[in-house]
Structure 1
Amino acid sequence: MKIFSLGRIPIKSWANEVEEEALQQAINLSNLPFAHSHIALMADVHVGFGMPIGGVLASKGVIIPNAVGVDIGCGIIAAKTDILDISTEQLENIVDKAHRTIPLGYDHHKKPRDWEGFNDPPNIKVIFEELDSARYQIGTLGGGNHFMSIERGSDGHIWLMVHSGSRNFGYKIAHYYNKVANKINETTKLSPPKQGLAGLYLDSEEGQEYFTAMNYALEFARENRDQLLEQFYSIFKEETNSKQILEKIIIHHNYAAIETHFGEKIIVHRKGAIRAQLGELGIIPGSMGTPSYIVEGLGNEESFKSCSHGAGRVMSRKMANKMITKEMADKAMEGIVYKGWREDLSEAPMAYKDIEEVIENQKDLIKPLIKLEPLGVVKG
């Protein structure tokens, strides 16, 4: 861990290097009057909007929509199956059928789907505006870095992983309440303008409304992953004759929660970070072409009991599409079944940090348990 004393409170970093723009964002966080104890930067830290991704902010009494982000509740399910081996032909059939039957990118289901959360949603305008379309969005993957994958575990089992979030719910909630916070910040002066860090007092009407909406988006995101896994496992089961899922690990990495640290009740914002309490299981994915890890939290208070949510980008999407060729990306994916890149190379493995280095840098935060090697990937 490195400590930077560049603002009002220290910045503690588990990354080998922190890019200049991400470090400036961390300094901005450290100078917020309500920031508590220190800012924690995970091993996968990189620049985000307002707050760096892979950042953890603890605050007293104030919640910041942009410190949670636009994909509220984005996270992963890892499911251990009873299958011990799988052929290339089976992988190709699963990946192909998943592409044909599960909505990816901007696609939605053609018929509305059920979820008990639709029956009694919070009485909040921005949620009600999205309810109808959400019935078609739930159980869809989305785009960007969202994926479904088949992995070979170091425990001898074949695992499935699903990475997705709250779809348009999170996006609309984040943008709406960031605008509300910006307007209120003109009076409260909670944060400097143009830093993208306008906050809401948690005990205010607007703060409570955002907190309620955010938690509803977390529940939606979790159900979205559950329904995606159900569809993905159904295809997997048909192809492999799997009888059951033996274990599920579920985490999310864009949220804020009320927790107690260093003897005080505070609001912990994890943007691209996951909770790693003592004994808690977590998932740290690499990239489409590199390993992922099932880990166990060590409950380290210095990171507010958090760890990285993945490998973290080493280049922006725009830069990746300039620097990486299709040939380079294909070579990095040799031996892995996938459908190709279309025109977007931003998720190529070399756009990400070295997952082994990222894991090594946070051995005081987590204990690696199972290494997962990618066999087949469905990208959003």
Structure 2
Amino acid sequence: MNNTTQNKPINGNSLIEIGYPENEILGIALKINKKRTGFTKAEMLDKYAQVMSSPQDFTEDKIFKSLAEAFINGIHLPKIDEEIIPLNENPKEFKIYGIEKIEDGALNQMKIAMQLPVTVAGALMPDAHQGYGLPIGGVLATKNAIIPYGVGVDIGCRMALSIYDLPASHYFEHHDILKETLMKNTKFGAGHGFHGKYKAEHHVLDDSKFETNSFINNLKDKAWSQLGSSGGGNHFVEFGLIDFKEDDKKLNIKKGSYLALLTHSGSRGFGATIAGHYTKIAKDICKLPYNAKNLAYLDLDSEAGQEYWLAMNLAGEYASACHEIIHQKITKELGAEVLAKIENHHNFAWKEIYNNEEVIVHRKGATPASKDVMGIIPGSMTAPGFLVRGNGEENSINSASHGAGRQMSRTQAIKSLSQNKINDYLNDFGITLIGSGKDEAPMAYKDIHEVMNAQQDLVDVVATFTPKMVRMADDGSKED
């Protein structure tokens, strides 16, 4: 895409395609576009998607404040003559893990989700915090219904871990080479991707689900350009040391400390556009009361429900392909053997059996933790992460947390934290940081040890991962 195309004005159709309502909000968004302040068209569209998904993060943003407030204040209330689907008067009960550290906003969002007429069961993980629709850390089982914002904007976001046949000492002996390897083989940030000969190739681009409809097919070029890249916000690629206190026969890894590569990101702009498009369709079809409007759902037997199900699965496979490419490139550069590769995803929905019936389990920022299922639960850039095995706990709907969870909003972190203090803190832990902003500072996250203590029934810890060299986006972009 040339610079002229990238900087063309964004029109109403561009915003409607990513899920914007055709009312006053559209007008506010278009006015903002006139003062784009250096963003490319692709970057602006990603920003618009972010504001729509998490308006609370933009209430003090100089450019997007008015748009965020319009979403928060419900400027697009349903028309008086619309037939509203009533919520159940009494919410179903749900299990809460680590309630002491969970904010009221997340608890209230979960209670509303438990009032949906399609809700079967739910659970809230100890890293939970307020999101958009279903809280981040929310798990919701529904009967034959799929909620696009119950899945989330970054569809199929995931963790991937490669454990190498290299001792921990390799990191300290080859620090500068490893830093160069990260810089050379990764690309970050909202709207960023590859062009020309630098585009990656992967069989996911040949998936027949791209032919589901013209909307999905038209996103293929965008998907191709960002294939093998990472998003903004809390997405990262990092080298660290993973420590096994004893032999693990299932993974065939002996006791010891090894160099490992850990990545976190999702389906990029491809997934965000799908989320926006089908959320708009769901809201048009499923009219819920204002406090539940972001939980609009699609019947899985409907045409729109089937389309979204296919698109969601394609976005998940695409996200996995992005990780696969990053790991392959870095592993080749290292010339190492992979002893084990573990991958798990969140922001997704699965067909599972719960209480002897098939349900759709939405895990928005929650890790699958069925019996013996492997997972990775990261802390922060200075806190350990954990390689775990699920215990198959039914009360949590076979789920666990997907990380430590935020204790500070992005705006709060940017306003209250000193960059010098952050730098000193990173130095104390021996962290080499490439990129990132104050909103991703370690202090913005909950204590991972408290989170893990709250879910001892859900997972068993297999090994501990200590971050050492972290690369993140440095452009202030956000993709949860």
TM-score (norm 2): 0.73
In the alignment, residue 300 of structure 2 is paired with which amino acid? L
Is the 1:200–1:206 Cα contact (8 Å) retained in structure 2? yes
Deviations along 1:254-296, one digit per CA (max 9) or x if unpaired, are: 1001100111111000000011111111100111111100001
Residue 379 of structure 2, aligned match among 275, 280, 286: 286
1:45 to 128, 136, 154: 128
Structure 1 residues 138 and 340 mapped into 2: Cα distance closer, same or farther (>3 Å)?
A: closer
Contact 1:150–1:161 (CA under 8 A) maintained in structure 2: yes
2:208 is matched by which residue type in structure 1? P
How far 1:233 sits from its partner (Å)?
A: 2.4
Q: Show the counterpart of 1:114.
A: 201
The correspondence for 1:245, drawn from 329, 338, 347, is 338
Matches within 5 A, 1:325-344: 325-334=418-427, 335-339=430-434, 341=436, 344=437
Q: Is the 8 A contact 1:95 1:338 kept in 2?
A: no
The CA distance in 2 between the partners of 1:97 and 1:234, in whole Å, is 10
1:193 equivalenced with 2:290 (yes/no):
yes
Match of 2:176 in 1: 92
Structure-2 residue corresponding to 1:206? 304
Where 2:159 maps in the other structure, the secondary structure is: strand
Instruction: State whether structure 2 residue 335 is matched by structure 1 residue 232.
Output: no
Cross-structure match for 2:412:
319
For structure 2, list consecutive stretches of 5 or more residues without a partner in the other structure. Answer: 1-88, 245-256, 474-480
Decide which of 262, 265, 276 is 1:164's aligned counterpart: 265
Q: Quick one: distance in 2 between partners of 1:317 and 1:260?
A: 37
CA displacement at 1:243 relative to structure 2 = 2.9
State the match for 2:229 in structure 1: 140
Farther-moved stretch of structure 1 (97-106 vs 123-132): 97-106
Show the counterpart of 1:261: 354
Partner residue, 1:3:
none
State the partner residue of 1:149.
Answer: 238
- 1:296 and 2:389 matched: yes
Give, in whole Å, the separation in 1 of the partners of 2:91 and 2:435.
47
Q: Is the 8 A contact 2:393 2:458 kept in 1?
A: yes
Structure 1 contact 154–372 (Cα < 8 Å) conserved: yes
- Tell me by how many angstroms 1:323 deviates: 1.4
- Structure 1 vs Structure 2 CA RMSD: 1.6
Distance 1:44 1:92 in 2: 34
Q: Is the 8 A contact 2:185 2:326 kept in 1?
A: no
**Whole-angstrom CA distance in 1 between matches of 2:135 and 2:461:** 25
- Amino acid of the structure 2 residue aligned with 1:259: E
Deviation at 1:100, TM superposition (A): 4.2
> 1:44-63 CA deviation, whole Å, 9 max, x = no partner?
00111111001100011211
Given that 1:150 and 1:158 are in contact with CA atoms closer than 8 Å, whether structure 2 keeps it comes out as yes
Report deviation, 1:328: 2.2
1: CA distance between counterparts of 2:282 and 2:395? 29
**Mapped contact 1:95–1:378 kept (Cα < 8 A):** no
2:160 matches 1:77? yes
Residues in 1 aligned to 2:303 and 2:400: alpha-carbon distance in whole angstroms: 32
Q: Report deviation, 1:340.
A: 5.0
Report the Cα offset of residue 319 of structure 1.
1.1
Conservation of the 8 A alpha-carbon contact between 2:391 and 2:457: yes
Q: Which runs of 5+ in 1 are unaligned?
A: 1-5
- Paired residues of 2:222 and 2:270 also in contact (CA < 8 A): no
Q: Decide which of 51, 59, 64 is 2:142's aligned counterpart.
A: 59
Asked if the contact 2:367–2:401 (Cα under 8 Å) also holds between the matched residues in 1, the reply is yes
Identity of paired residues, percent?
39
Distance apart, 1:194 and its partner CA: 4.8
Distance 1:94 1:67 in 2: 38
The aligned amino acid for 2:153 is V
2:101 to 6, 14, 17: 17
Distance 2:336 2:173 in 1: 20
CA 1:87–1:65: 2 relative to 1, 3 Å: closer
Amino acid at match of 1:208: Q
Structure with larger Rg: 2
Q: 1:130 aligns with which of 197, 219, 234?
A: 219
**1:72-111 residue CA offsets vs partner (Å, 9 max, x unmatched):** 0000111110010224462233224422442211431223
For CA contacts below 8 A with separation 6 or more, give which structure has more relative contact order.
1
SS in 2 for 1:24: helix
Query: Under a length normalisation based on structure 1, what TM-score does the superposition of the two structures give?
Result: 0.92
* C-alpha contact (below 8 Å) 1:141/1:228 kept by paired residues: no
CA contact (8 A) 2:159 2:343 kept: yes
Residues in 2 aligned to 1:101 and 1:244: alpha-carbon distance in whole angstroms: 18
Equivalent residues of 1:95, 1:377 under 8 A apart:
no
Shift of 1:7: 4.2
CA–CA distance in 1 between the matches of 2:434 and 2:307? 42
Cα offset, 1:125, TM superposition: 2.6
SS at match of 1:182: helix
Q: Residue 129 of structure 1: CA displacement?
A: 1.6
Aligned partner of 1:348 in structure 2 is 441
Equivalent residue number for residue 374 of structure 1 = 467
Q: In the alignment, is the contact (CA less than 8 A) between 1:13 and 1:40 conserved in 2? A: yes
Deviations 1:27-48, CA, capped at 9 Å, x for gaps? 11011111113x2000100111
How far apart are the structure 1 equivalents of 2:180 and 2:443?
25
SS in 2 for 1:31: coil
Stretch deviating more after TM superposition (101-110 or 132-141):
101-110
In structure 1, C-alpha distance between the alignment counterparts of 2:215 and 2:275, rounded to whole Å? 10
Equivalent position amino acid for 1:57 in 2: L
Higher-helix-fraction structure = 2
- Secondary structure of 1:114's partner? coil
